[in-house]
A and B are shown apart, each in its own frame.
Chain A
Amino acid sequence: MYLCILSLPLLGFLGASGFGRFLGGRGAGVFTTSLLLITFVFSCICFYEVGICGSPCTLKVSPWFLSEYWDPTWGLLFDPLTGVMCVVVTSVSTLVHLYSTSYMGEDPHLPRFMSYLSLFTFFMLILITGDNFLQMFVGWEGVGLASYLLINFWFTRLQANKSAIKAMLMNRVGDFGLALGIFTIYILFQSVNFETVFACAPHLSEEKIIFFGFELHAYTLIGLLLFVGATGKSAQIGLHTWLPDAMEGPTPVSALIHAATMVTAGVFLIARCSPLYEYAPDALGFIAFAGGMTAFFAATTGLVQNDLKRVIAYSTCSQLGYMVFACGLSHYDLGVFHLANHAFFKALLFLGAGSVIHAMAGEQDMRKLGGLAQVLPFTYGMMMLGTLALVGFPFLSGFYSKDALLEVSCAHYTLSGDFTYFLGCAAAFCTSYYSFRLVSLSFLGEPKGPRKTYEGAHEAPLPMAIPLIILGVGSLFSGYLGKDLFVGLGTPFWGNSISGMASHTTSLEAEYISQTMKHLPFVLTVIGGSLGLGINSPAFSPNAYKMKLTSLGRSLYIFLNRRWLFDKVYNDWIGRPSLSFGYNVSFKTIDKGVLEIIGPFGITESIRNLVKHTQQIQSGFIYHYAFVMLLGLTFLLTILSLETLIQYWVDPRLWTLFGVGFLGLLPSEELK
């Protein structure tokens, strides 16, 4: 059964890609969806056995390499962390599969799409079930590959191609860091198996390692390098630019990438490596800062985005910041809990947005929507549910994880704790604003689109509605149901899959922080939500427009709408210089320049010159010939008569070489 969790999505991929021609679009959809459904059922059983019953399980599949101490194997590890991730990944993936059969129903390449979705799920499962770093890396790269294929699904679109390349490259920067981290782990522990590494973790916590000539604390170095990997995958600040561009793929892909699978891998990595991170407080501090900044940055950027999907994408980025700073404050359980809740409501939001886009003939610009609450009441209800869960409305799923996150960060009496608390509160305010702005612009107010699309608008068909309903139920209840299990005080659920040092944990203190601090996020959320509804309402929007026209408002709007100009800075200072370096220096100067001159081109050219010079000696004039003959004779006679003298002086072979070499110095006919 545990092996089936991995093999059924693989079977779905192979079946849909190999026999998609015979199955047809509908057949491939039913085939992969039903396989994923079975996987989901197995995952639930796995969650019950491993998590709730507390019996983790490992399976050794086969050896991979065997070389002295180097012994990574193909093995599966099912512990509570993996169990949670399995349920999250397979549930959202199943719903996305089901949704896609209808959303992409008219697409001629549906079998390919379904096979890619299954491939994505398979690699994600490889990532979370691997029992060593190397196997996790396989999943890590595989997920990147699958995201490339999916973002690029409509490969005839230029923008989709560019976004997919961007996603792949930005991820690859992170993957490089992850690979370096794994190398460092191997150097330190002589192993990449989780059990060995984590069992040895307390004993090697004082080790130093030399990196680029600096002697660094080994765990801090490992932690930071692994975090570079997590930064790429989880779109933390610095390597986040690919995530909003990944919106070029079909909407179910965005739901899969942003809600459940790809971006959660970074958080999963940090949670998985918690035994190492616990001994690297510096790395944890850095992670907390990075997460806090990401949450704030993405939330502010989301404020003024006009694309329906882009708003939700920045919301993902911001929520990932929350998860990451929770991990950075040693609350890995909270991070994973928020991850699970976020998977439900973010998938709901994306699929709801997909439903809107589907109904409105592909219109994604919120400025051209509006008044959809009457036209699409069901989608409106679902989106509203997702929005309320996202902003952390009390008793919905977001409330139980997000407010808990902010509380523990407030109770964390460190600089990073305060930093993340206040930035997190600011981000919560912005989250609330842009979520309700989205609702206000697309569902309330007056219709702003063309009449034709409103006439053609229709409610989502059943295969699209069912996932929305299930995810809606998930967003409603997952927080309440999971709270005590995942983050309850003293819960035995996690076993030793996540280790938090007693001195780092502040869940108890979080219960006793002042009421002001406890209520601040909620108050900010309510204010932000009212502002979001108010400013964007038809009654106020002319004023909002005027605000944008003031010089401060204008520059602020441009700054936020251009995503803090991150992309411009990257393009101008990294992308273009790198490209010009590649063309001017490494291609033109080195490859086609220096190497060609001392290489093939230069040698042929100098021999050709030499030959030309030698030819010029034969001028055709008799007296020249006579002169050369005389000269040669004299030279020969001199050499012969002075042979004994010269012998000691120099090697005759050298003379010959010199003579030939000097011929090359004569100016050639062409150069004149």
Chain B
Amino acid sequence: MSLIHSLHVSFVVFLLGLVGIYLNRKNIILVLMSIELMLLGINLNLLSFSVYLDDLLGQIFALFILTVAAAESAIGLAILVIYYRLRRTIDIEFIRLMKG
């Protein structure tokens, strides 16, 4: 598997995450999942370059990102739960409290 292939995969995964964020009109959990997907794409990218360049720094970054992603999804889900408790919905359509 060459670098180009793995870069393709990671780019497509990242793009899917991106598209998932703004095409999604229904569920906020999907947004969180899309963010996870984007982080996954970035991780994959880092790892491929790390292998290709034979440099350990990319893998260290990948580990950090895993941690950050885990923490982020934990906090995000926690916010989501609290939000659900208050509003009884997690439908994106109804989250319009921050209108300018």
Residues from 32 to 79 in B contacting A, C-beta threshold 8 Å: none
Could you say which residues of chain B place their CB within 8 Å of the CB of A615?
100
15 contacts between A and B (CB under 8 A): A615-B100, A618-B100, A619-B99, A620-B97, A620-B99, A620-B100, A621-B93, A621-B95, A621-B96, A622-B92, A622-B95, A623-B24, A626-B22, A626-B31, A627-B22
On whether A622 and B100 interact (CB within 8 A), knowing A627-B22, A630-B18, the answer reads: no
A621 and B92 CA atoms in complex are apart in Å by 7
- A616: CB under 8 A from chain B? yes
Name A's interface SS: helix
Are the CB atoms of B25 and A623 closer together than 8 Å?
yes
Chain A neighbourhood of B21, CB < 8 A? 623, 626
Interfacial residues, chain B to chain A (CB-CB below 8 A): 18, 21-25, 28, 31, 92-93, 95-100
Residues of chain B within 8 A of A630, CB atoms compared: 18, 22
Neighbour of B28 across the interface among A617, A619, A622, A627, CB < 8 A: A622
Question: Please, how many angstroms separate the alpha-carbon atoms of A620 and B28 in the complex?
Answer: 14
Interface size range of chain A in the complex: 10 to 19
| Residue from B25, B28, B93, B99 having most chain A Cβ neighbours under 10 A | B99
Partner of B99, one of A618, A626, A627: A618
Contacts of B96 in A (CB 8 A): 619-621
Asked if B100 contacts A616 (CB within 8 A), the reply is yes
- Chain A residues packing against B (C-beta within 8 Å): 615-623, 626-627, 630
State A626–B24 Cα separation when bound (angstroms): 11
B99 contact set on A, CB distance < 8 A: 618-620
| Residues of the B chain whose Cβ atoms lie less than 8 Å from the Cβ of A617 | 100
- Chain B: minimal CB distance from A610 (Å): 14
Contacts of B97 in A (CB 8 A): 620
Top 7 A-B pairs, shortest CB-CB distance: A618-B100, A620-B99, A620-B96, A626-B22, A615-B100, A627-B22, A626-B21
Residues in chain B near residue A621, CB distance under 8 A: 92-93, 95-96
Q: CA separation between A627 and B92, bound complex, in Å?
A: 14
Q: Which residue of A lies closest to B100 (CB)?
A: A618
Residues in chain A near residue B28, CB distance under 8 A? 622
* B14 to A: closest C-beta gap in Å: 12
Contact between chains at A618 and B24 (CB < 8 Å): no
How close is B40's CB to chain A, nearest CB, in angstroms?
18
B residues less than 8 Å from A620 (CB atoms) = 95-100
A623 touching B100, Cβ below 8 Å:
no
B22 cross-chain contacts in A, Cβ below 8 A:
623, 626-627, 630
A119 to B16: give the CA distance in the assembly, Å.
97
Cα distance A630–B38 when bound, in Å? 13
Which residues from chain A contact B92 at a C-beta distance below 8 Å? 621-623
Which residues on the A side are within 8 Å of B31 (C-beta)?
622, 626
In the complex the two chains form, what is the Cα distance from A618 to B96 in whole Å? 10
- How far, in Å, is A594 (CB) from chain B's closest CB? 34
Inter-chain CA distance A617–B99, complex, in Å, is 9
Taking the closest CB of chain B, its distance from the CB of A189, in whole angstroms, is 74
Task: Quote the shortest CB–CB distance from A603 to chain B (angstroms).
Answer: 23
CB contacts (< 8 Å) of B23 on chain A: these are 623
Q: Which residues in B have their C-beta under 8 angstroms from that of A619?
A: 96, 99-100
B24 proximity list for chain A (CB < 8 A): 623
Q: Give the complex CA separation of A623 and B18 in angstroms.
A: 11
In Å, the complex CA distance between A619 and B96 comes to 7
Q: Which of B21, B22, B97 is the most central at the interface, judged by chain A CB atoms within 10 Å of its CB?
A: B22
